Amino acid sequence: MPDGDSRDLYAILGVPRSASQEEIKKAYRKLVRKHHPDANPGDSESEARFKSINLAYEILQDPQKRARYDQFGTIGDAPPGGGPFGGGFEPFGDIFGDLFGSVFGGGRREARGPLRGQDLEMTIRISLEEAFRGIGREISIPRLEKCDRCGGSGAEPGTEVKSCPYCGGSGQVEREQRTPFGTFVSVGQCSECGGSGKKIESGCRNCGASGKVRAKHRVDVKIPPGVDTGTRLRVAGEGGEGSDGGPPGDLFLAIKVESHPSFERDRDDLHTRVILKYPQAVLGGSVEVASIEGTEKVEISPGTQGGKAIRIKGKGMPRLKGSGRGDLYAHVVIDVPQSLTERERALMEGLAREMDVEVQSAGLIDRIRQIFS
Ligand SMILES: [Zn+2]
Ligand SMILES: [Zn+2]
């Protein structure tokens, strides 16, 4: 067993962490009888196990060594660097878990390592006009942030954070599994500390020992012109905070453009309606069509049919990818008047006679109603 090993000595001897010296001795004697190389000639596995048992016993039978192991979770009498506080390590320069993790934990510490923060996604609702112009918006994102009270350690200020004695601060434990094909060692998250490698004596009152608190994180985001429902924008580095020095995650904005009373959108094109009076449709003329940015003057050719789409080039939405703009389509609706002045009615009836179409002439009561309406 090399220095810096953080295998669970209690597990090797098969005793609980609370075992008395007497129980440890008893367990050791039993195991030694079972795994002694003399009792298992030629079994190299048994030999290795026998060595582990001896080493575990050597540490745990000595109250001083045991206490040290309980505290730091490792055996390191002479770890690389010349001792826990010798060599080039800055004493207490970092939280305990990291310091001891790197001193004792060997390469295993890296497997946990700094963790990148979570990616967050948020739906942003904007109007069609905002999608047209593009907007800057301050949004507030609920996320977990480092607790101010404990600085993220999870420990109540003034209390100690120790290396998890179960895993030795590595956050991971090895489990040996003996099978007919050999002994397999699997590495799993330490259940004692949940993989943090730390043992908190007294949890922080503000964050409940988690080291993180729910906070509203404010971010100014820029939403470019041309976004549409379904557009996903990435705001780098504004996601959840990383842990153990890891980088933050990203924030994704899922855009939802609200429907508009006057315009329908089809990718970069906009569609609207233009209402023509009967004579305008028949004789042609110039009308104003509402666009997303104001009004456009459009020439109507004589004999324009209802339902015709008049294309107004370049007056649609800006293209999010690429340059330029889509088109605006004005769909013609012929306005059929629902009430007429007496003179209009007379003219219409004259027109009907001229065109030789049979129309319903208004009765006297209808005419009176027309006059007083
Ligand atoms: Zn806290
Ligand atoms: Zn642990």
Distance of CA 208 from the midpoint of ligand 1 (Å)? 7
> What does the pLDDT average to over 258-275?
96
Q: For residue 192, which ligand has an atom nearest its CA?
A: 2
Q: For 173, how many CA atoms within 13 A lie in the half-sphere containing its CB?
A: 20
Residues 331 and 344 in one domain: no
Q: How far is the C-alpha of 80 from the C-alpha of 116, rounded, in Å?
A: 29
**144 and 237 belong to one structural domain:** yes
State in Å: Cα 219 to ligand 2 middle: 36
Residue 6 Cα to ligand 1 midpoint, Å, equals 28
Query: pLDDT tens-digit profile of 295-309?
Result: 999 999 999 999 999
Q: Are residues 127 and 253 in the same domain?
A: yes
Of the listed ranges 48-62, 258-272, 330-344, the one predicted with least confidence: 48-62
pLDDT grade, residue 109 (50/70/90)?
A: very low
- Would strands 328-335 and 172-179 be described as parallel, antiparallel, or unpaired? unpaired
Confidence check: pLDDT of 189 > 60: yes
Asked, for residue 373, whether it belongs to a domain, the answer is yes
Question: Is the per-residue pLDDT at 333 higher than 70?
Answer: yes
| pLDDT at residue number 344 | 92
- Per-residue model confidence as pLDDT tens digits over 191-250: 888 888 888 888 899 988 888 888 888 999 999 999 999 999 999 999 888 877 889 999
Which of 242, 257, 272 is the endpoint of a domain? 257
> Which pLDDT score is estimated for 2?
42
- CA 253 / ligand 1 centre spacing (Å): 30
Identify the CATH number of the domain in which residue 213 sits: 2.60.260.20
Cα 340 to ligand 2 centre (Å) = 88
Any domain includes 177? no
Question: Is residue 209, in this structure, part of any structural domain at all?
Answer: yes
What is the CA(8)–ligand 2 centre distance, in A?
Answer: 10
Asked if residue 149 is part of any domain, the answer here is yes
Q: Nearest ligand to the C-alpha of residue 188?
A: 2
Say yes or no: 143 and 252 in one domain.
Answer: yes
The pLDDT value recorded for residue 76 is 47
Same domain, 103 and 205: no
Query: In this predicted model, what pLDDT tens digit does every residue of 44-82 receive, in sequence order?
Result: 777 778 888 888 888 888 877 787 777 666 554 433 333
Give me the pLDDT at residue 112, please. 55
Nearest C-alpha neighbor of 145 from the set 87, 236, 206: 206
Ligand 2: centre distance to CA 118 (Å):
23
Q: Is 327 inside a domain boundary?
A: yes
Q: Which of 373 and 285 is assigned the larger pLDDT?
A: 285
Return the half-sphere exposure (C-beta side, CA atoms, 13 A cut-off) of residue 319.
8
| For residues 337-357, average pLDDT | 91
Give the pLDDT of residue 73. Answer: 63
Residue 328 has pLDDT above 60, yes or no: yes
Q: Cα of 163 to ligand 2 centre, how many Å?
A: 8
Instruction: Tell me how far the alpha carbon of residue 162 lies from the centroid of ligand 1, in angstroms.
Output: 16
Average pLDDT over residues 282-287: 95
Distance 196 CA to ligand 2 centre (A): 7
Distance from Cα 138 to the centre of ligand 1, integer Å: 27
Q: For residue 206, give the ligand nearest its CA.
A: 1
Give residue 154 CA to ligand 1 midpoint distance, Å.
5
As a whole number, the mean pLDDT across the chain is: 81
Residue 117 has pLDDT above 90, yes or no: no
> What separation in Å is there between the alpha carbon of 211 and the centre of ligand 1?
5
Domain with 323 in it: 260-336
Residue 371 Cα to ligand 2 midpoint, Å, equals: 93
State in Å: Cα 171 to ligand 2 middle. Answer: 5
pLDDT of 27 reads 87
SS3 129: helix
CA 97 to ligand 2 centroid distance, Å:
10
Domain CATH for 55: 1.10.287.110
Same domain, 154 and 253: yes
| CA–CA gap between residue 276 and residue 290 (Å, rounded) | 13
For residue 97, report the distance from its CA to the centre of ligand 1, in Å: 16
| Angle ∠(78,81,84) on CA atoms, nearest 5 | 60
- By the 10 Å C-beta count (0-12 exposed, 13-18 middle, 19+ buried), 286 is classed as exposed
Residue 174 banded pLDDT, cuts 50, 70, 90:
confident
Name the residue type at position 332: V
Residues 129 and 85 in one domain: no
**Rounded to whole angstroms, how far apart are CA atoms 257 and 231?**
9
In a domain, 147, yes or no: yes
Between the CA of 151 and the centroid of ligand 1 the distance, in Å, is 6
Least confident residue range of 53-57, 234-238, 310-314, 342-346: 53-57
Structure tokens at 124: 């942003």
Mark whether 130 and 253 lie in a shared domain.
yes
Q: Are residues 313 and 288 in the same domain?
A: yes
> Is residue 22 domain-shared with residue 66, that is, in the same domain?
yes
Does the structure show a pLDDT above 90 at 133?
yes
Distance 189 CA to ligand 2 centre (A): 8
Using a 10 angstrom Cβ sphere, with 0-12 exposed, 13-18 middle and 19 or more buried, the burial of residue 71 is middle
> Do 332 and 222 fall into the same domain?
no
Number of the ligand closest to the Cα of 208: 1
CA 312 to chain centre: 41
Q: How many domains does the chain have?
A: 4
Ligand whose nearest atom lies closest to the CA of 101: 2
Higher pLDDT, 232 or 2: 232
The ligand minimizing its distance to the Cα of 164 is 2
- 112 vs 23, which has greater pLDDT? 23
* Per-residue model confidence (pLDDT) at position 300: 95
Averaged pLDDT, 105-127: 72
How much distance in Å is there from the Cα of 204 to the middle of ligand 2? 19
Q: Are residues 301 and 218 in the same domain?
A: no
Does residue 278 belong to any structural domain of this protein?
Answer: yes
Supply the pLDDT for residue 77.
Answer: 41
Q: What average pLDDT does range 7-23 have in this prediction?
A: 82
In a domain, 222, yes or no: yes
